[in-house]
Amino acid sequence: MTRVLVVEDDPQLVRALVINLQARHYGVDAAPDGTTALRLAAERQPDVVLLDLGLPDMDGVDIVKDLRAWSRVPILILSARQASDEKVAALDAGADDYITKPFSINELLARLRAAIRRTEDIAIAPETTLVETEDFSIDLLANKVLRDGRDVRLTPTEWHLLEILVTNPGRLITQKHLLKEVWGVSQSNKTNYLRVYMAKLRRKLEKDPSHPRYLITEPGMGYRFEG
């Protein structure tokens, strides 16, 4: 049975989540604060964590950092906060996804299933050389991209950006992380770099660059690769 740890201090929301998750045969533990959450995470070893950022005793970002010190469990943020920088801070600390309150239970369950699938999939290891989609293939060892049987010419910067995204399939990679890894900068005013280069990659790889299927933008947050 897949175990879910719900970290939330709103009793009504906790009750709704527990009922819906148990009805779908998940095992559920609930924690109303950060201290209890960290104890249950160590004792129960959940398969996924649903984490509210605003808790009575600790900030959710601190809980993410504590969990990431010893665990790779998927962490989905449940946030009512409107400021994107707070959500980005949680993602940079190691959270895997975010869901803004209020949310539909169907969206939550879909995100939950996706997070679990990613942990079950075999991670892209260094010896893995090929990432394939319906429209193009990427040879990570040869630094080569093929589309419709033809080589796609990428600049070193385009390649570096693409490599980070495809080796983290389905995971939201924040603007800050990409800027630091690709350009060595993290200033928010440099996000135009990302917009320009993502547009270039989409023109080279996507059938319809204006409606991308693979290189997805999460507005104000970052980007993800969906294979």
Asked whether the beta carbons of 59 and 147 are under 8 A apart, the reply is no
Q: In which band, very low, low, confident or very high, does the pLDDT at 221 lie, cut at 50, 70 and 90?
A: confident
pLDDT at 91: 85
Structure tokens at 211: 């409606």
Q: Are 66 and 95 in contact (CB under 8 A)?
A: no
Residues 191-194: contacts with CB under 8 Å, at least 24 apart: 194/161, 194/223
User: In the Cβ-directed half-sphere of 179, how many Cα atoms lie within 13 Å?
Assistant: 18
pLDDT tens by residue, 150-205: 999 988 889 989 999 998 888 888 888 888 888 776 555 678 888 989 999 999 99
CB 145 within 8 A of CB 154: yes
Per-residue pLDDT at 122: 43
Pairing type for strands 173-174 and 150-152 reads: unpaired
pLDDT at 185: 63
Sign of CA dihedral 83, 100, 8, 168: negative
Residue 156 pLDDT = 81
Model pTM? 0.61
Q: What percent of the chain has pLDDT over 70?
A: 93
pLDDT in tens, 20-58: 999 999 999 999 999 999 999 999 989 999 999 989 999
